[in-house]
Amino acid sequence: MMKPMLRLAVLALFVSVVPARAQRVSTPAPGNRPALEQQFKERAAKLTQQRLGLTDAQLEKLEQSNARFAPQHQQLAAQDRDIRKQLRQEMTAGDAANQKRVSDLLDATLRLQKQRIALVESEQKDLAGFLTPVQRARYIFLQAQFRKRAQELSGQGAGTNQGLGGQRRRRPIGR
């Protein structure tokens, strides 16, 4: 039961790293997912505000920015998962894999990476409107730490390779 709760907390992290104002909250009862998510979001917000040295106004703008960009990040992540799943299915066929389909999926992966880069550029441009360059750099590192910790906690950190953009990569089939 703890592992699903942990995964839910990890999911809350990726939905938006800092979506809620830091407030004091009592510890939720085990199995109370909404309360657990809220507590996780508040702790992430408090940590982000402390590590970046954000004012309350900056934190509010960061929350708004995250809310604007989160749906696009989620959509790209879902597309990435789908493409990778299809590619894995094709690759399990070995020599019988559909060459055209594999080529199309590889092209789709590249298009997705370009979209992800464009999204990150847009997001950074938005953040530059209210964060200093040092705060933005710290935020990038903090997000990477959150992702790494979330992978470790969910048990996904072992046996994976990291690729561009910190995206989780499975080991090639046959190794």
pTM of the full predicted structure? 0.68
Q: What is the pLDDT of residue 27?
A: 56
Give the domain ranges of the chain: 2-161
Is 1's pLDDT higher than 70? no
- Contact assessment for residue 171 and residue 158, using Cβ atoms and an 8 Å cutoff: no
CA nearest 35: which of 61, 9, 63, 16?
9
Separation between Cα atoms, residue 17 and residue 9, nearest integer Å: 11
pLDDT tens-digit map of 68-122: 999 999 999 999 999 999 999 999 999 999 999 999 999 999 999 999 999 999 9
pLDDT 10s digits, 16-65 = 444 444 444 455 566 788 888 888 889 999 999 999 999 999 999 999 99
Q: Is the pLDDT of residue 137 over 60?
A: yes
Q: Is 144 exposed, middle or buried (0-12, 13-18, 19+ CB in 10 A)?
A: exposed
CA distances from 134 to 11, 57, 127, 131, 174 (A): 27, 17, 11, 8, 43
Q: Where are the beta strands (DSSP E) in the chain?
A: 160-162, 168-170
